[in-house]
A and B are shown apart, each in its own frame.
Chain A
Amino acid sequence: MSTSRKWYIPYVSPYDPCPPLGPISYETPVQLYLGFQPQGMEQFSPFEALAHGTLWPGLFTPYTNPYLSKRGELNTDG
C-alpha cells in the first residue's frame, strides 16, 4: 500500500535567519501508483461515495493539514 505523504529534511544553514521548520512534507496521492484501474475494485456505499467524491476506497486519498499532523517517519537522505 502506497503512502500519500512523504517527508524530507531540507538543508539547514547555520546562517538561516529563522529557526528551521523541520521536515517538509509533500503529497504523493494514490493516482501516482495505481496505473490502469483494475476491474472489480471494492466500492463505497452510494451514500459514502457521494460524501467522499469517489466510488472506490482505493482512490480515496483525503488531505489533512501537514502542519497540524504528527511528523511522519523521516527520510534522512532527503
Chain B
Amino acid sequence: MWYYEKKLQYPVRVGICNPRMAKFLIEQYGGADGELAAALRYLNQRYTIPSRVMGLLNDIGTEEFAHLEMIATMVYKLTKDATPEQLKEAGLGEHYVDHGKSVYYHNAAGQKFDMGVQSKGDPIADLYEDIAAEEKARSTYQWIINISDDPQINDSLGFLREREIVHSQRFREAVELLKEEQSKKRVF
C-alpha cells in the first residue's frame, strides 16, 4: 500500500505564461518514456525480479508517481487560465475539445498513452530496458529545457533530470548485483 504526503517532491514554480510549454511537457506525462510509463513499468516488473532488487523497483516506481505529479502541476498551471483561443494557438485545440482543461495521458504529438509498457520477466532484459528508459527520459528533459525560456520551470526540470541520472545508476548497480557469482564469498 502507499502513504500520501500532501506536497510535491520538489517545488514547481512556473514563471512565464506560455501554454505552449504544456504541450511539450505532456510528453513526460503520457509519453512512451514518461513518468507514468516508468512508474507502471517498475511496479509491474518488481514481481518477477530477484528479491535483492525488488525493493529498488518498488521505491523508484513510487518516486516516479511523485514526478508525474510535478509534471501534472506544471501542465495545469500553464493551461488553467488560458482561454480556448489561447489553447488553440498553443496547439492544444484538440486537447481542449477532447478533454477540456483536464490533464490527460498522451504524448507531445497527441497520441494516447500506450499501455504497451515493457516487461519481459527476464531480470537482465528488464533492468537494461529500465536503464535505457531513464537515459531517454533524461534526454527528453534536456530537450524540453532547451526549448523553454522559463528559468523557474527549468529549475524543476533540472531536478527531475538529475533524478533520472540517479535512477539509471541504481539500475546499473542492480545489474551488477544480479551478475554476482553466488558461490563468491562476500567480504565487508
- Chain A residues with CB under 8 Å of chain B are 2-3, 6-11, 24, 26-29, 32-33, 72-75, 77-78
Per the CB 8 Å criterion, the residue count for chain B at the interface is 12
Closest-CB distance, A75 to chain B (whole angstroms): 4
Q: B123 contacts which of A26, A33, A72, A73 (Cβ < 8 Å)?
A: A26
Q: Check B182–A6 contact: CB distance below 8 A.
A: yes
A27-B122, A27-B124, A28-B124 known; A78 and B181 CB under 8 Å?
no
Q: How many residue pairs between the two chains, A and B, have CB atoms under 8 Å in the bound complex?
A: 40
Are A26 and B182 in contact, with the CB atoms below 8 A? no
Report whether A6 and B178 are in contact in the complex, using a CB–CB cutoff of 8 Å.
yes
Pick the contact of A78 from B52, B122, B124, B175 — CB < 8 Å? B52
Give the distance in Å from the alpha carbon of A2 to the alpha carbon of B183 in the complex: 11
A78 B50 Cβ-Cβ under 8 A:
yes
List A contacts of B123 (CB < 8 A).
26
In angstroms, Cα B118 to Cα A64, docked, is: 25
Shortest Cβ gap from A48 to chain B (Å): 27
A28–B179 touching, CB < 8 Å: yes
CA of A74 to CA of B50 in the docked complex: distance in angstroms?
13
CA distance A67 to B45 in the complex (A): 21
User: Which B138-188 residues sit within 8 Å CB-CB of chain A?
Assistant: 175, 178-179, 181-183
Chain B residues with Cβ below 8 Å from A77 are 52
Which 6 A-B pairs rank lowest in CB-CB distance, beginning with the nearest?
Answer: A78-B51, A75-B182, A8-B50, A26-B123, A28-B179, A32-B179
Known contacts A6-B178, A27-B122, A32-B175, A73 near B183 by CB under 8 Å: yes
